[in-house]
Structure 1
Amino acid sequence: MTNERRVLVHPDKEALAASVAARFLTKTIDILDDLGAANIALTGGTMGIAVLEAVNGSPARDTIDWSKVHFWWGDERFVEKSSEERNERQAREALLDHLPVPPENIHPFPASDEIPDIEEAASVYAAELQAFAPEGQAFPKFDITFLGVGPDGHIASLFPDRAGIRETEATVIVERESPKPPPQRLSLTRPVLNASDRIWLVLSGSDKASALGLALAGASYTEVPVAGAKGRKRTVFFVDKDAAVDVPENLIAPSY
């Protein structure tokens, strides 16, 4: 089993979203052919949602049997269910509401008006993960995990020099004081994310260049969390030119 880290550079945000969407559709078909089902972990953010919108707009969207796909989230803002800040709501509006996905195949984190206590909400999501895990495991094997990257290098809601990025036992952590609003978050932990077969990081903009450069240069993942994102089979950084300015040439894969 190989563990590759590749950087694929695109000319702009639009081309980036379209390319990731096309690859996602193709890979999902392959996964369903091979395994009969797929577990996908989604992310929020500008590019994460742009990719979902591009998937929704693709002619290939309806070639997939979506009844065999389960959707999860890498993290969530702990706000009310109807809040526009929820990654779940944004993903539903961009893609999920347009697909024939059985409701039981969509696994959102609890909202603050569903389970007001954030610690209990974390426990509930951990139980949901375990309910769909192979026997003896604590969480399902994600086939593709999407991650965004913050200018500070955070992934999901695992921030630099916080307890969450160091957690190795729990599957879900609580972040009460996020450096970016809203302050309360729920997040999968690094071991869960890194158990994914494929981690796809999608980032654009010059404000992400430093974090990307540091990650690829071998920075400590506690200081630059994205440096610790490593899928079991493959880790791919899908970036635009602005985000790639600090990436060594030898790490940039040929375009496809």
Structure 2
Amino acid sequence: MSADGMTGGPPPSGARADWTIDQAWDRYTADEHAVWVKLYERQSRLLQGRACDAYLRGLDALDLHDAGIPDFRRINGELARLTGWRVVAVPGLVPDEVFFDHLANRRFPAGQFIRRADQLDYLQEPDVFHDVFGHVPMLTDPTFADYMQAYGEGGRRAMALGRLHNLARLYWYTVEFGLLATPEGLRIYGAGIASSAAESIYALESPAPRRLPFDLTDVMRTPYRIDDLQALYFVVPSLQALLDVTLQDFGAIYDQLAALPDLPLDA
């Protein structure tokens, strides 16, 4: 899903009706595999002591280093065994309804391409490194896997009620840029942090951003920026607490949000 939601339309040429494509793993070049290895080695070092245990366990379980860009066919066997999820390749950002349908059916849509060697530090459109290294390790955790499925199911209702922008903020501040409180201190679980060298350090160590306790209504009232390091992070007390709050009926919350203004990032 894009930052502001992507409307429907026919899939691009070569894509199936559900927007999936073949990963075509054997077509990656040696240079593309080398980019993955360089990114993996940098991030896996940075995330020791910074990422949450669930993420680090998932990274080990899926053995994402291998010989370069992971073959989805290989990692899907272990992922399916652990939580019933699998990764499907897509040509880029997909329409919201397609995205939600994949999540609701425990399929994570991942970009097939990888950034160039001169784009290691920033890429606006998510690539295979962001999607697989950043997101997929958390999908090995049963609680987070249930959360992602619940989010997909909730997306359909949010679209019908015209509250997609509120639900997109929940995704941004949890799945992409979420922090977790642990007895050892704050830890990363959001993919946008885990896949970024700069954000991995900044999110935990910089005095610049605010780090607020997670509150569902506040999260859904807070816009975000996609072109800079985050000014604000929301901290969940546990992955179970995140799942529990997502399983409630959002209808009353959406009614409440309709009467409330957005919260400025500097509020």
TM-score by length of 2: 0.28
More helix by share: 2
More strand by share: 1
Taking CA–CA contacts closer than 8 Å with sequence separation of 6 or more, which of the two structures ends up with the larger relative contact order? 1
